[in-house]
Amino acid sequence: MINTLGRHLRESLKSLARNTWMTFASISAVTVTLILVGTFLVIMMNLNHVASNLEKDVEIRVLIDVTADEKAQQTLKSEIEKISQVDSIVFSPKEKELDNLVESLGEEGKSFELFEQNNPLNDVFVVKAKNPRDTAAVAEQISGLDNASKVRYGQDQVDKLFDAISVARNIGIGLIIGLIFTAMFLISNTIKITIIARKREIEIMRLVGATNGFIRWPFFLEGLLLGVFGAVIPIALISVSYQSLYTWALPKLQGSFVEVLPLSPFVFQISAILLLIGALIGVWGSLMSVRKFLKV
């Protein structure tokens, strides 16, 4: 068994070396495809990561009627707590709201300090849903309650982000499928050339009673090798550039809501995916030719 495998491997490598240009073209096609697939995966997975982080942070801000006294506020609070999807509720007095606003505006906010005597803002309940997906429903219920003058939440932005991601994903997938087919076609052509070049050998193998599996193996291996060799450069490139991008971006993103996926295990996952896609492209490409041209 080991012996035959070694023989098949030798045969495959020999024919790869013999058809230098087709080998080069096939490997390049796989390389280009996988670089794009890899870049796309890095971007999409990070965007998804950012979006789900954002979604987790979505909170509902319930502006309390200025006329509501302490008792009315307590009633509102207990009403909100009764909603089953509600996870937490925090009271934020209007003085704190003003501080936050002033702080967020920086230098310009200084002018608002005058308002401190006559604060125009509302007291606020900050509510979080147990499941971010329920945010809209919870907000809807709260807005029906007495003394809740306005209900605001950031879900719109998050939804828009998710929509954008899904559009980008569809375009990317379409592009990648096209590229994968091109690479497969090139590989299947390479295999076809090998099959034609080894026509007499195949004929003799059949005559002396080699099994179909034995005859096919070298061609599968050849396809597999083309796919795997094509994955080497993309894996190296993506790993190295993600690493440098990560170390460059991490300090800059500190404290902001954007968070990129950590190097490990992400880089290994991407590498494994690229290797797998490369191998599949190769095997599938050779399968197409073996089915069509290798009548055994």
Partner 1 sequence: MIEMSEVYKTYPNGVLAINGIDIKINQGEFVYVVGPSGAGKSTFIKMMYREEKPSSGKIIINGVDLSTLKESKVPMLRRQIGVVFQDFKLLSKLTVFENVAFALEVIGENPKSIKKRVLDVLDLVQLKHKARFFPDELSGGEQQRVSIARSIVNNPAVMIADEPTGNLDPDTSWEIMHLFEEINNRGTTILMATHNKEIVNTLKKRVIAIEDGKIVRDEARGEYGIYD
In sequence order, the β-bridge partners of residue 151 are 62
Please measure the distance between the N-terminal and C-terminal CA atoms of the chain and give it in whole angstroms: 21
Q: Between 169 and 206, whose beta carbon lies closer to partner 1?
A: 206
Is the Cβ of residue 200 or residue 252 nearer to partner 1 in the bound state? 200
Two structure tokens written together for 270:
């991407």
The three-state (H, E, C) secondary structure of 114-165, written as one string? HHHHHCCCCCEEEEEECCHHHHHHHHHHHHCCCCEEEEEECHHHHHHHHHHH
**In which element (H, E) is residue 19 found?**
none
CA distances from 252 to 63, 138, 141, 161 (A): 34, 35, 39, 22
Q: What are phi and psi of 223, to 5 degrees?
A: -65, -45
CB of 216 to partner 1, least distance (A): 12
Rounded to 5°, the CA angle 178-183-185 comes to: 95
Whose tokens are 């993103």? That residue is 253
Q: Which is nearer to partner 1, 144 or 209 (CB)?
A: 209
Query: Apex CA 94: angle with CA 89 and CA 100, to 5°?
Result: 90
Q: Smallest distance from the beta carbon of 205 to partner 1, in angstroms? A: 5
Shortest gap between Cβ of 217 and partner 1 (angstroms)? 11
Cβ closest to partner 1, residue 7 vs residue 133: 7
Write the CA distances from 272 to 31, 50, 229, 266, integer angstroms.
Answer: 15, 23, 14, 10
* Smallest separation (angstroms) from partner 1 to the CB of 184: 27
Specify the residue, 2 or 114, whose C-beta has the smaller distance to partner 1.
Answer: 2
Helices H, strands E: what count in the chain?
9, 4
The minimum distance between CB 5 and partner 1, in angstroms, equals 11
| Distance, CA of 148 to CA of 77 (rounded, Å) | 10
Nearer to partner 1, 27 or 215 (CB): 215
Query: Is the CB of residue 191 less than 8 Å from the CB of residue 294?
Result: no
Specify the residue, 53 or 212, whose C-beta has the smaller distance to partner 1.
Answer: 212
Radius of gyration of the chain (CA): 31
Least separation in angstroms between residue 26's CB and partner 1 is: 24
Query: Which residues would be at the binding site for partner 1 (CB under 8 A)?
Result: 3-4, 7, 200-201, 203-212, 214-215
User: Minimum Å distance from CB 207 to partner 1?
Assistant: 5
Task: Provide the minimum distance between the beta carbon of 242 and partner 1 in the complex, in angstroms, as a whole number.
Answer: 46
Residue number with CB closer to partner 1 (96 or 199): 199
